[in-house]
Structure 1
Amino acid sequence: MPSDSYVFEGPAEPAVPPRDNNPPLSISELSFALRRTLEDRFGHVRLRGEVSKVNRHASGHVYLTLKDDKACIDGVVWKGSVRGLGVQPETGLEVIVTGKITSYPARSSYQIVIETMEAAGAGALLAQLERLKGRLREEGLFEPSRKRPIPAFPAVIGVVTSPTGAVVRDILHRISERWPCRVVVWPCVVQGEAAAGQVAAAVRGFDAMGSDGPIPRPDVVIVARGGGSVEDLWPFNDEALARTVAAATIPVISAVGHETDTTLIDFVSDRRAPTPTGAAEMATPVLADLRAGLADLERRLSRTGARLLEDRRTRLRAVARGLPARPEELVALPQQRLDFVSSRLGAALARNVVVHERELIRAAGRLTPAALTRQIERRREQTSGLAARLDLALSRVPAREADRFSRLARLFDSLNPDRPLSQGFARVHDEAGGLVRAAAGLKSGDGVRLVFSDGAAAATVDGGSATSPTPARTPRRESAPRPSSPGQGQLF
C-alpha cells in the first residue's frame, strides 16, 4: 500500500473495565468491623491517667476522659457498673481503670468501657494547684478580713470576658432587667495560653482608671467565663492573675464556670458567683424591688401621718370639751388678779422706800467720828503690842544662835583627832598610810610612821610579835621634861 493512502476505520468499541473481586464496604460495615477488631485485640486493658470532663448523664451512665501529658482517650461507665467502682470519678483525680477498648461508630472514635476504677493519687494539675493554693493561703490572700464590700448601688460595672460568647449577653441582659446602669466591657480571650495575661491586664486597666477620665471608673468588676473542663478553666488558676485580682482596689466578683467549678481567683476575689448571671445579680439591686419598697414606705408614712393627725385631733376635741364656751372667760380671772396687784404696787413701793430710809438713818447715826477714832486707836494699840513682841523675839535670835554655835565648836574641838597629840600622844600609821589600831596588826621589821603634835617621824618595829592574850598593865606615866629639839628621836 502506498504511503500516501488512507484507510477508513469505524468507531472504536467501548473498553470493558476489568472485573474486581474486592466489593465495596458500607461505612457501617467498616465501623463495626473496626469495632470487632478493637474488641478482639484489646478486650482487656489496664490504663492509668487523670480524669477530666466528667459528665453524669440523666440515664445513669458516666462519660469522662482519661489523659496524660501527651494523649487522651474517652471513657464510659455503664449505669450498672457505677456503684461497683472503687472510687467515683472526679475531675483532676488520677486513677487506674480496667476495661475493654471499643469504638463508637456514630462518631468514628474509639473509647474504653470502664469496668473497675481505683485511685492512683491526685493528678499533676490538681497537685500543682493545691501547692499554689497553700502558698497563697499562708500569705493571707484568702482571709475574709481583706475582702472589700460590693457597692449597693453601682453606677458603672466593668466586665472582663470574651465579647463574642453568650456570657456577655447574659450579663448585659440581666443587668438591664435589674438595674439599668452603664456597663464597660473589656474584651479578652478566656481560654488558652494568652487568657491569663489578658484577664490580668484587664483587671489592672480597670483599677488604673481615674474618676475624671473619658471612660468612667467601674464601681465593681466582674470576671466571667462559661463552663468547661479543667484544662479550659486552667488560665484562671494562674498565680500572676490571682495576685492581680487580690491587689485590685476595685471590688472583684469571680464568675468562672458553673457552680461546681472552682478556680484560684474564686478564693482571692471579693465575691464568688456560681454563674455569670449570678454575678450580675450580686453586683446589682433590683430596681423594681427598690421602687416597690419606696412605694410601700411612702404608703406606710402616709398612713402613719394620717393616724397621728387623727390622734392629735381626737385629743384636741377631748380637751376642748373641758373648756368654756367663750375663750375670754379663760383670761378673765387672771386679768382681774393682775389689776388688783397692779393697784397695790404703787403704795407698796412707797412703803418700801420709807422702810429703807429709816434703816439708813439708824445706820448713819452710828457712823460718828468718835466711833471711827476709837476703832483707829484700838487698832494702833494692837499694832504697837505686836511690834514690841516682834522686836523682843528678834533680839533673842542672835544670842540663841551664838550659844548654839559655841556648843558646836566645843563638840568639834572634842572630836578633833589632833587634840590628843598636844597632850603627848602619837598616832601610828603603817607604810600604806592607814591608821594602826592594834598591836596585832604589826610584826617585827614593819615600817611605821609616828605622828606627833609638832611633826612626824619614821620608825621600824623591833622585837617579837606584839600580840598577847593578856594585856599588860600600863605603868603610870611619870612626867618628863619635853625635849627642846623639834624631833622626838628613836622610839624603839
Structure 2
Amino acid sequence: MANTYLDVPFKAKDEAKALGARWDPDARKWYVPDGRDLAPFDAWLSAGKMAAAAVSANTKDIVPVTQMALQDVVVARKGVPLSQLLGGVAQAVAHVFKSGVWTIVEVVEARTKNGHIYLELSERTLDGVVLATARGSIWANTASKILPEFERTTGASIAPGMKLLVRAKPAFKTLYGFSLEIDAIDPEYTLGDLEARKREIRTRLTQEGIYGSNKKLPFPWDFNVVLVIAPQGAAGLGDFQAEAMRLERFGICHFVYAHSRFQGEGAAHEIRLSLGEALGRWSEADGQPDAVVIIRGGGAVTDLAWLNDYELAKTLCTLNIPVLTGIGHERDSTVLDEVANTRFDTPSKVIAGIEQTIRKRVDEAQTDLEFLVGHVRHHLHVTKGQLEKSVSGIQAGALRQVATAKETTSSLINELRLDATNTVHDAKRGTHALLTEVRHDAHQLLSEARREVPTLFAEIRAEAGNVVGTARTVTTARMESVRDRAVVDIRRSRESIQLGLREVTTFARRVTADARTASVALFREVAGQGPEKTLARGFVIARDRQGKPVTSVSGAPSGTDLEIEFRDGRVATRVK
C-alpha cells in the first residue's frame, strides 16, 4: 500500500504531526505512513481513494489513467465538497506520478520570486498552434543545484522562447490546481535545438542559392557613410560610437544610426523593419551607404538565438550592400554572422576594422601625393631647364640676327660710301682732263689765230668762250647727275637697312611672344598639378610646427603637434 495524503490546514499541522503524520516536501502535503491506523486522521482524509495507472519504473512511459472510482465514500447528503473532490484528484496524481518524467517544453514566461522559478510552459506545432499549456515551478533548493550547471553549459538563463528537456513531476493542489515540479534540466537538448534551427535556416538559404550572396560583394574600398543597426543604449553601441564620433568630428566618415530590439519575440522582424526604413530614407542623389553594420553587446547564447531568423538572414543575403556584424560573442556565432560579408567578434573590432581601412586609404593617398609632388617637381625642373634653354637660344638667335643685320648694314653703307667716293673722283678726273684738253685746244687755236689771222682773234675768243660755257654746262650737269645718283643710292640703302631692321625686330618680337606664351601655358600646367586640387578631392596635408610636410608615421611620434590642412582651412591637433 502507498502513503495516504491528508488535507491538513496550516493551523492544524502541529496536531497532525503529533498524531504521526509526516510532511512530503515534493508533494507539499502531509501524509499517513503506510501501515498506520487512519482513524485518528478522519478529519483530514479525502473523500475517497482513486485507482490509477502506474508509471513504468524502467521505461518511464506514462500509462494513461483508464478508470477513476470513488471508494468508501459515505455521504449523508447529496454531493461532496469541492475540496474533498480535488483532494482525491491530488491523491490520485500523487499515486500515479511518484517520480519525475522527462518531457519537452517551451518556455512562454519565466519569473523569479524568493529564489523560486515560476514558469508558463507550452507545446506548439511548427505553425505556432498551441497543443498544450501548463504551469511549472523550480523550487529554490532545486534551482540552486540545477541552474548553475545549465547556465554554465549553455551560457544562458532560462528565458521565454527557449525549448527545454526537463524532468518534471506532475502535482495537483486543491488551491492552485495542476502544475509541473521540475527537478532536472538537460542542457544538451537546448544547445541541440539552437543548432538545429541554425542548420534549417542554412539549408533553406542554400537551396534558394542566396546563402553566400553578401559574402561575394567586395569589402568596401573606403568608408564615407555607414548605416548602423543596434539596440538603443547597448554597451556595445557605446564602445562603437566612442571611436565613430572621432571619425565624424574630423569629417572622415558619417554614421547613421537605426535602433531595434535584438532579443525577445518579434526582435528579428523589428530589425528588418528598422533596416528597411533606414535604407528607404536614402535618396537616389545620396546613393547608398558604403556598408550596413549590425552590432550589439555581448550576451548569452539563447539571447543570440533570437537573431537566428530565416527572414532576417534572407534579407541580409539579398542586400546589395556589404554587411558587417559585431554581435559581441567570440565563442558562438549566429546565422547573421555566417551570411554577412564580414564578421567581427565585437562592436569595437567593427569600428577598428573601418578605421583601419580608412587609414589604409589615407596612407595610399599620402604615398600617391608624395609621388605626384615628386613627379611635378621633376617635371617642373625639366621644364624650367628646357625653358631656360629655349630663352637662351632665342636670345642668342636674336643677338646673332641683330649682329648679322648690323654687319650687313655696315657693309652696305661702306660700299655705298666707296661707290659714291669713286664716282666723285671719276667725275673730277674726267672734268680735269676735259679742262686740260680745252685749254690745250684753245691755246693751239689762239696761237694759230695769232699767227694766221689776227683778225680772227675775236672769233676765236668767241668760240673759246662758247666752248668754255659748254664745258661748264656739261660739267655742272654731270656733277648734278653724279650727286642725284649718290642721293638715290644712299636713300635706297637707308630704306633697305630700315626694312631689314624692321623684319629682324618683328621676327625677334614674334619669337619672344611665342616663347612667353609657351612659358605661361607650361607654368599654368605645372601650377594646375599643385596640392590645391589634391586637397579638393578630400585629401589632407599634415605639417609640423615648422610647416614642413609630415609624410610618414615615424615623423609624427606621440605628443607631436601637427597642423592638418584641408581644402577649406587648417586644424591643429596632437598625436596620441
For normalisation by structure 2, the TM-score amounts to 0.34
For normalisation by structure 1, the TM-score amounts to 0.39
